[in-house]
Amino acid sequence: MKLTKAQKRVLDFILQHIRERGYPPTVREVARAFGYRSPLSAKQHIDALVRKGYLRRASGVSRGLSLAMPLSNASSLSLPVVGTIRAGSPILATENIEEYITVSRELFPLEEGFGLRVVGDSMKDAGILEGDIVIVRPGVEPTQGDIVVALVEDEATVKRLFIEDGTVILKPEHPDMRPMRFKAADVKILGKVVGLIRRF
């Protein structure tokens, strides 16, 4: 069932309260948060949220609210891990997805993203080895020196990014390899590497 604007605001407040403080708010705390001068104003919104299945309530119990959907869904995120990325086909094409990993938002504060299995040892001096999974946050403007996932010549690679007057420089971290320079149009930055996971 759909929520009204006011109901959605109240639900968001309750969610945030539980996430931040670890326990639900009282009816009056909800009222205070929205400037309501009567506790009933808040209670009616909560009643609606319970009726519509968004919240559970133990009646007569102080702070007796809980989420109908477990918070674990909110506190952790399931990310697809791709092995190879080719230009043309979408990054997260199902045939590319090797597995899904669950990472806690606490550890990697993402809204969306994906994992990429590292191929080759071009970033070995940055402690990124073959087989590692790098956690990639797409759609953020990377700054000078960030480690990124870039799509060049039909292949995705992990490199350190520098930009010099319109030229994109992808720098490996390997003693035998040299930085590569590209015209901005020839490189697509898929995202910034924000984490790494390795299994031994």
Contacting residues toward DNA, per CB under 7 A: 4-7, 26-29, 31, 34-41, 43-45, 48, 57, 59-64
What CA–CA distance (Å, rounded) separates 36 from 122? 59
Residue 119 Cα distances to 56, 149, 157, angstroms? 47, 12, 8
Among 6, 23, 53, 167, binds a second copy (CB under 8 A): 23
Toward a second copy, which CB reaches closer, 8 or 64?
Answer: 64
- Number of CB atoms found within 10 A of residue 108's CB: 16
Beta bridge partner(s), residue 111: none
Toward DNA, which CB reaches closer, 40 or 140?
Answer: 40
Pick out residues in 78-137 that bind a second copy (CB under 8 A): 101-104, 106-108, 124-125, 127-129, 132
- Number of CB atoms found within 10 A of residue 127's CB: 10
Please name the residue that has the structure tokens 């104003």.
Answer: 41
To a second copy, the closest distance from the beta carbon of 178 in angstroms equals: 21
- Considering the rule CB under 8 A, would residue 2 count as an interface residue with a second copy? no
Number of residues that bind a second copy (CB under 8 A): 45
Tokens encoding 44: 């009616």
Q: Which of 62, 75, 78, 159 is catalytic?
A: 159
Tokens encoding 124: 């070995």
What CA–CA distance (Å, rounded) separates 38 from 43? 9
- Give catalytic status of residue 5 as yes or no: no
What CA–CA distance (Å, rounded) separates 113 from 135? 7
Q: Which of 76, 78, 104, 122 is catalytic?
A: 122
Catalytic site residues? 122, 159
* Residues of the shown chain interacting with a second copy in the complex, contacts defined by CB under 8 A: 18, 21-24, 26, 56, 58, 61-67, 70-73, 75-76, 101-104, 106-108, 124-125, 127-129, 132, 146-147, 192-200
